[in-house]
Amino acid sequence: MELVETTIPAVKIVRLEAFPDHRGTFTRFWNRDEWQAAGIGPFVEDNVSTSNCNVLRGLHLQTLSPQGKLVSVLSGAIYDVAVDVRLNSETLGCWVGVHLRAGDGQQLWVPPGFAHGFAVTDGPATVHYRCTTAYQSNHQAGIRWNDPNLAIDWPVRDPVLSPRDAVLPPFSGAIELRSS
């Protein structure tokens, strides 16, 4: 495993080691001791979503017990985004976007205190999230995917959204919620 810095130091690209041979490839997706030694985890919950091409999920965050997420793509491809919502952070309101594709040997570490979302660029895409805290539906919040103040350069123009994601507040609304 190799950690690659992004423009926000807390968000990391994890490059996995692959072992190819005549049968195919073996890749270790997670090892508790290695990832914890790298400051990633500990984890308590795994989730999987499958989404069609042009679906955009997010930007989501959990206000109580913020979740860190180790994101992997099992099929298809996504553009994965992390937005810093940590109130005392030098990078508050900044975002990182990373293309992840099944079989590319990469994961994205989205630490607690970040909103997370992704757009499917080659689908259907199956996405695995290994989370540091359990999902709490009554403490979910989010940020509008196309907030002009964030200016995220999504690779999809007319995304398919859930009814909830279509009416999320702007970044300023999510920050007000976090500070109350």
Question: Three-state secondary structure along the chain?
Answer: CEEEECCCCCCEEEECCEEEECCEEEECCCCHHHHHHCCCCCCCEEEEEEECCCEEEEEEEECCCCCCEEEEEEEEEEEEEEEECCCCCCCCCCEEEEEEECCCCEEEEECCCEEEEEEEEEEEEEEEEEECCCCCHHHEEECCCCCCCCCCCCCCCCCECCHHHHCCCCHHHHHHHHHC
Is the preceding omega at residue 170 within 30 degrees of 0, hence cis?
A: no
Does the annotation count 135 as an active-site position? no
Q: Which of 22, 129, 135, 139 is catalytic?
A: 129
Q: Which of 60, 116, 128, 139 is catalytic?
A: 60
Token reading at 14:
């994890």
CA within 13 Å, CB half, 7? 12
* Residues marked as catalytic: 60, 129
